[in-house]
A and B are shown apart, each in its own frame.
Chain A
Amino acid sequence: MKCFPSLPLLVLVGILLLPASHLRAPSEAEGNVAGLESHKQTDASESSRLVARHVALQHQLAQQAPAGHYIVVDTARNRLSIIRRQEVLLTALASTGSGTILNDPDRPGTRWIFDTPRGEFTIQSKLTNPIWVKPDWAFLEEGLGIPTDAEHRLEPGVLGDYALGFGKGYFIHGTLYARLLGQNVTHGCIRLNDDDLQRVYQLSKVGTTVMIF
């Protein structure tokens, strides 16, 4: 197990050593002084090399950033932002996943966890006047049986004017419950109010990066 050296101890040792090295320097042979100069030059060139490398690496890292607009979603604070380079173009109040669990009473072992997925995604689809295709859990939540007919799953008018799919059935869409924006209440999708949703729709395109944390 490592013991940590104490800072005051090191400082004190440093202070004690410093005057001694000063006193020794004039009495050194000329060759040694030349060696010291050469050492200093080597140090300087090493530092320059390190600084140049540092700048190059920073540049390389900066190039990994999305080229155009990108969307950032903070699920803890329920905020969605659109950013281009370092400029924030929009910050909107959102609703994200509730984190709750729903068990299927008819199929033991089947359950849904209503989390907004975290990680990096891309906008895969942009829809206008979207129609919600209700999944099984939506019927279970309402205490209804799961329909066998696909037509009974369609529900228009609940997702707002636009929906932007970012994979695995998750969307950024509108809401009928604007009063709940800022809270973790959804089944995993990201809800926005009408104005913000329109702005996000306008500023995004298929392929826009979405970072969710």
Chain B
Amino acid sequence: MVLAALTWATPPSTSGPASQTGNQARDPEGLREANRVLEEEIRLAAHPQIYLLLNLPDRSIVIKGRGIELRRLPISAWQAIEERAMVGVFRLRARPQVARPKATPLDDPAQDPIELKDMPVAYELLFDPTLAVTVAPPFQDRPWLWAMGLMRDSWTKTVSWIRSTAAPDENASSPCLRLTLSVEAAQSLAWSVTDGMPLVIRRTTPQ
């Protein structure tokens, strides 16, 4: 009974404390995973491009180029489905849509630019090979958007479940990530990503 209560009361799969990274670096599995990510990074950093490193043990998203950290965005919380499948390089299909103002002749261009605050705070990023990353603000910041994010996430899970049930042998495991980011971090991520941008994920539980 106590076990059941403990199990139920604990938020599922929320990442551990930041100190987990240090522990992971000392254990062989953690080192293997860190080395795998470094190998991916070396390949990406050899080319003139900006890429993303999603570091789940560290709870951070790092924008990088040539292996250099350009910006770090903290992750408040995350949940993953099929985390073990999150290996290799994923490429963003399309950046989040934003309504671009139309410039009109003789207008002051400073009047209506797109700014960081215009970027969405709840959205879904789809990658190839198949990976869905949903981003939502913490409940206390934007309850409505948080709930919307949860619904979108549930829908993704349901579709994934239906597909895996209908065709158990074909692509049964579509990895999904739900990230809870502060409003500023969510908008910064939406701003910084570009079509085709590569993503590498450092996992907590390598298999």
Contacts and interface: CB of A to CB of B under 8 A. Distances in A.
A141 B111 CA distance: 14
A213 B65 contact: yes
Contact of A120 (B32, B48, B103, B160): B48
Given A53-B35, A75-B191, A211-B65, A8 B109 contact: no
B54 interface: no
Most chain A CB within a 10 A radius of its CB, from B101, B109, B114: B109
Contacts of B164: 1
A54 B114 contact: no
Interface stretch (A26-34, A42-50, A123-131, A198-206): A42-50
Nearest to B36: A57
Contacts of A184: 113-115
Contacts of A70: 68
A77 B41 CA distance: 26
Interface stretch (B2-10, B122-130, B139-147): B2-10
A119 B194 contact: yes
Contacts, number: 153
A59 to B, nearest CB: 10
Main secondary structure of the interface of B (DSSP, over half): mixed
A70 B68 CA distance: 11
Contacts of A53: 31, 35
A3 to B, nearest CB: 8
Contacts of A143: 105-106
A62 interface: yes
A58 interface: yes
Main secondary structure of the interface of A (DSSP, over half): mixed
Interface string A43-87: 100110011011001101110111000101011110000000000
Interface in B32-54: 32, 34-35, 38-39, 41-42, 45-46, 48-50
A180 B35 contact: no
B146 to A, nearest CB: 20
Given A57-B38, A98-B114, A141-B103, A213 B49 contact: no
A65 B82 CA distance: 33
A7 B35 contact: no
Contacts of B74: none
Contacts of A38: none
Interface string A105-130: 00000000110001111000000000
Given A1-B161, A99-B113, A121 B188 contact: no
B31 A51 contact: yes
Nearest to A143: B105
13 contacts: A1-B157, A1-B161, A6-B7, A66-B66, A72-B70, A76-B188, A101-B101, A119-B48, A120-B48, A141-B103, A141-B105, A185-B109, A209-B48
Interface of B: 3, 6-7, 10, 12-13, 16, 25, 28, 31-32, 34-35, 38-39, 41-42, 45-46, 48-50, 63, 65-68, 70-71, 79, 81-82, 98, 100-103, 105-107, 109-110, 112-116, 157, 160-161, 164, 173, 187-188, 191-192, 194
